């Protein structure tokens, strides 16, 4: 099929392109910068430069496309303070253009939602984007994932840097909440399978998750074990996310515009509604420890991990 991958310079987009090409699809990329695409090591049959915020290049990018992967997020940069509005406008503009081009399927990677409790800004924005895209094409598919374990996953790298640089972990009240991280390799398999998923399984969202459920405190401990380091923890009875996110971002060398919304999402359990996605998509899931070991090994090929 003729496939468009947006967010072509990002972690998922750059890794997805060769996976789709291996399945015999013609893959076109869409990005703002050719230099960033090259730096990410992504190779496409065709690359269209444009901007989802202004709509520049979207008509050309979507022309003749069967399946479009929407992998665009805007939690940083000039729109960071109002990312929800910006993400909604981008998705709606993309949806209108895709519908006009006759795209049959849009595949989107969003986030797991809490089954009780209010949505954070981050997850509410992911849901709004999902709803706009599902309505745009008849066979669209939305995948909802928690933390992705991979060398180029910024969430995973953020956790590694915190463990590497903090001698003691002060863990807020959300440390007891639970989630199911997923191996980045499995995310790519789900996304690749989404292109050819039977129509009877499309037009909806699917929760994708690894097989191991754990609290956030346990997740940090298990990553620290894989890094062969000891990090005592101090449990706090409060959250103070605005302050904690600034401190954590500074320690890890990350953008607080990204970290604060992500930390807000930790205040509830983020678990899949069911475990039917793996069978429906034909994906065999990796366990948590092998996923972490693989991610750490690949991260060490990219940059120093001093704690190792």
Residue 308 pLDDT: 58
Residue 239 pLDDT: 87
Taking alpha carbons only, the member of 155, 157, 153 closest to residue 307 is 157
Residue 83 pLDDT: 83
Cα–Cα distance between 37 and 43 in angstroms, integer? Answer: 8
Q: Over the stretch 91-107, which tens digit does the pLDDT of each residue have?
A: 999 999 999 999 999 99
Residue 82 pLDDT: 78
Cα–Cα distance between 183 and 165 in angstroms, integer? Answer: 24
Distances (CA, A) of 180 to 30, 147, 154, 270: 30, 8, 17, 7
User: What kind and span of H or E run contains 204?
Assistant: strand 204-207
At residue 149, the 3 state secondary structure works out as strand
Give 32's contacts (C-beta < 8 A, 6+ positions apart): 9, 49, 50, 51
Residue 72 pLDDT: 93
Cα–Cα distance between 84 and 74 in angstroms, integer? Answer: 8
Whole-model pTM: value is 0.94
Residue 110 pLDDT: 96
Residue 80 pLDDT: 53
Instruction: Decide if 264 contacts 243 (C-beta within 8 A).
Output: no
Q: Over the stretch 219-237, which tens digit does the pLDDT of each residue have?
A: 999 999 999 999 999 999 9
User: Please, what are the averages of pLDDT over each run of 10 residues along the chain (308 residues)?
Assistant: 96 96 97 94 94 95 98 68 86 96 97 90 94 95 97 95 94 95 98 97 98 98 96 91 92 91 92 96 98 96 80
Residue 81 pLDDT: 57
């Amino acid at each position: 099929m003729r496939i468009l991958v947006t967010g072509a310079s990002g972690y998922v987009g750059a890794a997805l392109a060769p996976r789709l090409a291996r399945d015999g699809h013609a893959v076109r990329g869409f990005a703002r910068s050719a230099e960033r695409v090259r730096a990410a090591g992504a190779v496409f049959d065709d690359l269209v430069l444009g901007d989802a915020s202004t709509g520049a290049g979207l008509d050309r990018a979507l022309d003749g496309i069967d399946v479009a992967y929407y992998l665009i997020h805007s939690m940083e940069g000039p729109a960071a303070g109002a990312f929800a509005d910006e993400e909604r406008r981008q998705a709606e503009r993309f949806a209108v253009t895709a519908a006009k081009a006759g795209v049959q399927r849009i595949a989107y990677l969003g986030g797991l939602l809490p089954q009780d409790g209010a949505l954070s800004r981050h997850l509410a924005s992911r849901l709004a984007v999902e709803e706009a895209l599902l309505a745009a094409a008849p066979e669209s598919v939305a995948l909802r994932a928690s933390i992705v374990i991979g060398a180029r996953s910024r969430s995973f790298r953020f956790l590694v840097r915190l463990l590497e640089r903090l001698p003691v972990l002060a863990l807020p009240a959300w440390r007891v909440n639970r989630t199911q991280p997923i191996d980045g390799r499995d995310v790519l398999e789900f996304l690749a399978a989404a292109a050819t998923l039977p129509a009877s399984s499309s037009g909806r969202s699917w929760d994708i998750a690894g097989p191991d459920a754990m609290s956030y405190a346990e997740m940090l401990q298990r990553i620290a074990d894989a890094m062969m380091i000891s990090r005592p923890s101090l449990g706090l009875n409060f959250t103070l996310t605005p302050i904690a996110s600034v401190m954590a971002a500074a320690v890890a060398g990350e953008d607080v515009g990204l970290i604060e919304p992500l930390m807000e999402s930790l205040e509830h359990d983020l678990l899949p509604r069911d475990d039917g996605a793996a069978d429906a998509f034909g994906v065999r899931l990796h366990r948590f420890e092998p996923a972490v070991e693989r991610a750490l090994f690949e991260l060490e090929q990219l940059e120093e991990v001093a704690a190792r």
